[in-house]
Amino acid sequence: MNGRDTRQSRSVKMLRDSVARKIAAGEVIDRPNSVVRELLDNSIDAGSTEISLYLENGGISRIRVVDNGCGMSEEDLRLCYLPHATSKIETEDDLLSINSLGFRGEALSSISTCTRMEVVSRREEDDTAHRLIVHGGREIALEDWRGSRGTIIDASELFYSIPARKKFLKRSSAETTMCQKTFLEKALPFPEISFKLYTDNNLKLFLPASTRKERILAAWKGTFNPSLLHELESEDEGFKISIIAGRPEQNRKDRRYIQIFANNRRIDEYAFIQAVQYGFDDALPGGVFPVCFVFIEVEPHLVDFNIHPAKREARFRNQPAIHHKIVQMIKDFLAEYTFRFRTEEKEAQQHTFPSREMEHPSFAPPAAKKTSWNEWRGAAASGSNFYGKANTSFQGMPATHYSDSYEPVQSVRETMNRITPLVDKVPEQSDDFEGLRYMGQIMDLFLLAEYDNRLFIVDQHAAHERILFEVFKKKASAVQELLIPVEFETDEAEEINLEKNKDKYRDLGISVNRLQQGLWQMTSIPKSALDMEGDLVEFLKTQQGSIGELEKELYATMSCRAAVKDGDPVDALSALELIKGAFRLESARCPHGRPIWFELSKDELFELVGRVI
C-alpha cells in the first residue's frame, strides 16, 4: 500500500483561481528574461519612441521598464492585470490579422501573479497619472499619481509567491546575460526606437534611433567591420525581406550571428537558417558561419505565431517561397562581391586594401600527406581565420570563362605520378594576360606574379583545386567499373545513411551494394576518382544531403586529392599557366570558400613599408 487515499485522488475538483493563475503564470514566465520579453513587447506596441530597461540582480530582485508610449487610462489599469485582458484582439478573426507583438492578454496577468508589481501610467489627454499595485495577483491599490505620458512597470521579488520556481534560477550574471540577449532581440527590428539598458544602476547599452545596419553595429560595438556589412532588400507576393549580410571575410566560428526575424519577432526557424547557409555555401569554408540578420515581413494571414508561449516558432504558408528568396538574395549579393577577375574592361580597377591596423589573411592549405576523409575536412575547416579582418574586396583585370574544352594542365612534377597534370594544353586565351610576369615560388606553396603594377600571391593548391573542381562540374566523368569491388564495413548509423543515399550516390557514378548487415561493396566509381577508393568509402559512410550538396562534396574531395600539394615544386611554365587559370575563374575561391590569391598594388606596397608615394 502506498498510503494514498484513492477516493480522494479520483475525485475531480475545480482549482482555486489563485492556483490556476500560478500554473498559467509558470507557462509564460519561467525566468527574468520572460518578464523582460513581455514588458518590452507592450512598450513597443504602445508606440513608444524611447524605452529604458532597468535590471537589479539579473532581474531577480527587480525589473523596471519605462516608456513614452500611449499610456493607459484608470479603467485600463483596473483590467490590465486580469487573465486574458487585452487591447490587441476581440474576436477569433483578429487572430488572422495580428500586427502587434502581444495579443493573448497573458503578460501582465502572469507577471502580477509571480511578482510584486507596480504600474504608473498616463495618457496624453489625461490630467493625471494613475498607479496600480498588485502583489501575487491581488490588487492592493489603484490611485491617482504623478507622472508624464507613458508607462512605468516595476516588477520586483520574482517568484516570491512561487518559491519552487525560484530554485531553478541561475546566478545573477547568467540571468543578466539572458535578459540582455532578449533586450537585443527586441531592439534589432525597431531601429527607429531608442533603447537603453541599465544593470544595477549602470548604463550597460545605449542604442539610439538609427538605421538597421547602424543598430546592429551599435548592439555589438567593435565586433563587425562596417564596410563588410551590406543591406539587401527584396519583396515578392505576400512578403518583403531585408537582410544585413556580412561579406565572407566577416565570418564567425558559430551560428550566433545568423538571426531570423519575422514580423519583428525573433524566431527559431531552421528552414530559414538553412537558407542563409545555402546562400553562403560556396563562399565559406566548412566550420565557419556567416554574419546574416534576416528581417521578414509577412502578411498576417500567411503566418501563425500562436503556437509557442514565447512566440519563438511560427508556421508560414509561403515558407518555400521565402526560403528560395533568401538563398537567391544572398547568392546575388555574393556574386557582386565575389573574389575574381572581371571580363568587361581592360583598365585596372581600383582596389580596396586593409589599413595597417587590420590583420592580413594567412593561408592555411590542406595537408599534403595522405589523410582520412574526416581529417581532410578538418584541414579544410582549419582556414576559419583565413580572411582575418582584411577588407578583401579585390577587383582585377579582365577574365575569360573556361571553355568546355579546357583541360587540367601538363604535369608540374613528372617524377611524381600521383600529381594530376595541371594543363593538357595552353588555352587559346593565353594572350589575355600579356605582361604577366611569373616571379617564382616561395614556401613551397605560393606562386608570386607581377601584373599591371600589382603583386599577386597565389596559393598553388587552392588554385589547382578550384580549376579541377570546375572541370569536374562541367565535364561529366566516365564511370569506371571496378575489376575487384571494394568491400567495407559499416556501423548501424553508416548503414542507415548508405541505404538512404545509395541512389543519389549512383547518380554521381558511385555504385554500392549491401552484402550483409554491416558489410557493403563499392562496384563502380567516377573515372576521375581512380586511386581514391579509400577516400570515397569514407565519403559514402559519412556524407548526406541533397544530390547537389553530395555532388559538391564529391567534386571537392576529388579535386583536393588530385591537386598539386603544399611542398610540390612547380616549374615556371606550369606555374604561369596555373596563375592564368586562376585569373580566369568565375569565383576565385577554393571549393571550401578560401581565397585563392592575395594582391598588393604598388601604392599599397609603398604604404606598407612607409615609402613616400
Residue range 403-416, pLDDT digits in tens: 343 343 433 433 23
Beta-strand (E) ranges in 187-326? Answer: 194-199, 202-207, 229-236, 239-246, 258-262, 265-267, 292-298, 303-304, 315-316
pLDDT tens by residue, 578-597: 888 888 887 778 877 778 88
Residue 436 reports pLDDT greater than 60:
yes
Where in the chain do CATH 3.30.1370.100 domains reside?
479-562
Provide the pLDDT for residue 235: 93
Residue 412 CB coordination number (10 Å): 23
Type of residue found at 566: D
CATH topology for the 479-562 domain: Ribosomal Protein S8; Chain: A, domain 1 (3.30.1370)
Of residues 377 and 240, which shows the higher confidence score? 240
Q: What is the pLDDT of residue 105?
A: 55
Q: What is the pLDDT of residue 9?
A: 56
What's residue 269's pLDDT? 87
Q: Which cell numbers in the block locate residue 435?
A: 605582361
Look at residue 457 and tell me whether its pLDDT is greater than 70: yes
Q: Any idea how long the chain is? A: 613
Domain spanning 216-336, CATH architecture: 2-Layer Sandwich (3.30)
Question: In the predicted model, what is the mean pLDDT of the chain?
Answer: 78
Q: What is the pLDDT of residues 268-311, one digit of tens each?
A: 888 899 899 889 887 876 677 899 999 999 998 888 876 666 56
CATH 3.30.565.10 boundaries in the chain: 17-206
Domain 373-471+565-608 classification at class level: alpha beta
In this prediction, residue 31 carries a pLDDT of 92
Tell me the pLDDT tens digit for each residue of 341-370. Answer: 543 333 333 333 333 333 333 333 333 334
Using CA atoms, how far apart are residues 64 and 39, in angstroms rounded to an integer? 9
pLDDT score of 379 more than 60: no
Residues contacting 339, CB < 8 A, separation 6+: 392, 394, 587, 588, 589, 595, 596
Q: Is the pLDDT of residue 542 over 80?
A: no
Binning pLDDT at 50, 70 and 90, where does residue 422 land?
very low
List, by residue range, all CATH 3.30.1540.20 domains of the chain.
373-471+565-608
CA 156 to chain centre: 36
Task: Residue 219: name the closest of 242, 250, 195, 199 by CA.
Answer: 195
443 burial type by CB count under 10 A (0-12 exposed, 13-18 middle, 19+ buried): exposed
Of the pLDDT bands very low, low, confident and very high (cuts 50, 70, 90), residue 327 is: very high
Three-class DSSP category at 294: strand
Q: Decide the pairing of beta strands 454-459 and 597-601.
A: antiparallel
Which H or E element spans position 54? strand 50-56
User: In the prediction, which pLDDT does 20 show?
Assistant: 65
3-state secondary structure string across 60-72: CCEEEEEECCCCC
Q: How confident is the model at residue 446 (pLDDT cuts 50, 70, 90)?
A: very high
Q: Where in the chain is the domain with CATH 3.30.230.10?
A: 216-336
pLDDT above 70 coverage of the chain, percent:
73
Closest CA to 244 of 226, 262, 256: 226
pLDDT of 53 strictly over 50: yes
Looking at domain 17-206, its CATH architecture is 2-Layer Sandwich (3.30)
Q: 377 pLDDT exceeds 60?
A: no
* Cβ-contact 402, 424 below 8 angstroms: no
| Cα(561)–Cα(68) distance, integer angstroms | 63
Give the pLDDT score at 89.
Answer: 56
